[in-house]
């Protein structure tokens, strides 16, 4: 018998396989080309969508076209993981100078999702606390853009309906005293502060359904001066709304929680005076005195430093707070003390 001649590897034996592999190669190339074309089309569609949205908005500044092109590019950069950090920084710097930046951010494809992604990405760094200064600065730039969206009349309601404030509560719930966490809490408070600053009852109604009051109260006791000031401002704005006042005075537990924290703050202000913080504390007390049940309770629990001359020197610098304190004491039928502070 003639011995069978062995064929070199890759030759003969399977012509069908060779043909199939040769057919697959151009098919793969075709698929890759189609994918690239689809990606390019998607990018073009995103650019067109943002561009169309920007046509409806005006950008402030003398170099309108230049600003418009820059903002358009930065908004597009938010969609890229590699370019997002720089875009966040630049947009946060420019947000005050760009008219209607909030609607641009909200209506641009993928932009809000990118901002939300920046927030949730650092959740694992909250406990145990391992937030670096770099990570804190980056997420705070994203929060600054959210504050812009929260304060704009066109996007504020959409912001609430999307329940985006809930994403900030884990930040407010942190207790670490390190600078990155203090900055994170302060910037998060700024977003809520921008909401309540609008004096919108829908905003107050939404916040009352959340844990913002206990979160703010804790920061009022344990935060630094600036965080305490913003947190107290939030509680003040809630109280100034009729629904908010009714909510806090509805039960003794709620009133007691607020009154206790305010009382502790007054004692702290005796040792470390702050005109700005004292203003918000006094305004909270004055608003509480508008409620009959709270007014009766305040006659018993109003801190003594507000009744005597402990803040006389501080009040000389702030006639508005001085007038509020006099009105508070008058509401509590403490006219004599009110006259003494007013002297």
CATH 3.30.420.40 fits 70-198, yes or no: no
pLDDT recorded at residue 111: 97
What residues does each domain of the chain span? 70-198, 235-333
- For 322-338, the pLDDT digits (tens) are 999 999 999 997 444 44
Distance between CA 256 and CA 251 in Å, rounded? 9
Residue ranges in 241-318 assigned as alpha helix (H)? 242-249, 252-271, 275-288, 292-301, 304-307, 312-315
pLDDT recorded at residue 99: 81
C-alpha dist (Å) from residue 43 to 47, 183, 274: 6, 35, 52
Long-range contacts of 23-29 (CB under 8 A, 24+ apart): none
Distance between CA 187 and CA 273 in Å, rounded? 24
pLDDT recorded at residue 10: 46
pLDDT recorded at residue 181: 98
213 backbone dihedrals φ, ψ, rounded to 5°: -65, -55
Both tokens of 27, joined, read: 């098919």
In the predicted model, residues of the chain with pLDDT beneath 50 are: 1-15, 17, 21, 46-47, 49-66, 334-343
Distance between CA 69 and CA 66 in Å, rounded? 5
Distance between CA 156 and CA 122 in Å, rounded? 25
Which of 46, 53, 43, 71 lies closest to 145, judged by CA?
A: 71
pLDDT recorded at residue 124: 98
pLDDT recorded at residue 49: 47
Distance between CA 80 and CA 281 in Å, rounded? 44
Distance between CA 243 and CA 314 in Å, rounded? 32
Distance between CA 169 and CA 131 in Å, rounded? 16
Give yes or no for a contact between 61 and 101, defined as CB atoms under 8 angstroms apart. no
pLDDT recorded at residue 42: 56
For the whole model, what pTM was predicted? Answer: 0.79
Q: What would the DSSP string read from start to end of 135-190?
A: HHHHHHHHHHHHHHHHHSTTTHHHHHHTTGGGGGHHHHT----SHHHHHHHHHHHH
pLDDT recorded at residue 43: 54
Distance between CA 104 and CA 279 in Å, rounded? 36
């Amino acid at each position: 018998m003639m011995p069978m001649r062995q064929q070199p590897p890759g030759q003969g034996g399977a012509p069908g396989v060779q043909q199939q592999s040769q057919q697959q190669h151009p098919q793969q190339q075709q698929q890759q080309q189609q994918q690239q074309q689809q990606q390019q089309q998607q990018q073009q569609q995103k650019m067109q969508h943002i561009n169309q949205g920007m046509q409806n908005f005006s950008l402030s500044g003398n170099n309108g076209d230049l600003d418009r092109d820059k903002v358009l590019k930065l908004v597009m950069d938010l969609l890229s993981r590699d370019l997002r950090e720089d875009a966040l920084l630049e947009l946060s710097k420019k947000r005050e100078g760009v008219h209607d930046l909030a609607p641009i951010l909200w209506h641009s494809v993928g932009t809000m999702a990118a901002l939300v992604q920046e927030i949730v990405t650092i959740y694992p760094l909250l406990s145990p606390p391992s937030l670096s200064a770099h990570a804190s600065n980056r997420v705070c730039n994203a929060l600054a853009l959210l504050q812009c969206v929260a304060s704009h009349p066109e996007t504020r309601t959409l912001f609430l309906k999307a329940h985006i404030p809930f994403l900030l509560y884990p930040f407010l719930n942190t207790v670490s005293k390190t600078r990155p966490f203090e900055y994170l809490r302060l910037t998060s408070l700024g977003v809520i502060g921008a909401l309540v600053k609008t004096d919108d009852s829908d905003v107050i109604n939404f916040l009352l359904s959340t844990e913002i009051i206990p979160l703010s109260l804790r920061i009022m006791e344990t935060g630094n001066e600036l965080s305490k000031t913003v947190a107290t401002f939030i509680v003040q704005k809630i109280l100034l709304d009729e629904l908010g006042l009714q909510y806090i005075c509805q039960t003794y537990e709620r009133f007691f929680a607020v009154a206790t924290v305010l009382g502790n703050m007054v004692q702290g202000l005796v040792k470390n005076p702050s005109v700005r913080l004292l203003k918000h504390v006094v305004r909270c007390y004055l608003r509480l005195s508008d409620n009959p049940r709270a007014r009766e309770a305040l006659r018993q629990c109003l801190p003594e430093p507000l009744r005597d001359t402990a803040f006389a020197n501080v009040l000389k610098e702030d006639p508005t707070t001085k007038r509020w304190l006099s009105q508070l004491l008058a509401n509590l039928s403490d006219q004599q003390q009110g006259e003494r502070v007013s002297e």
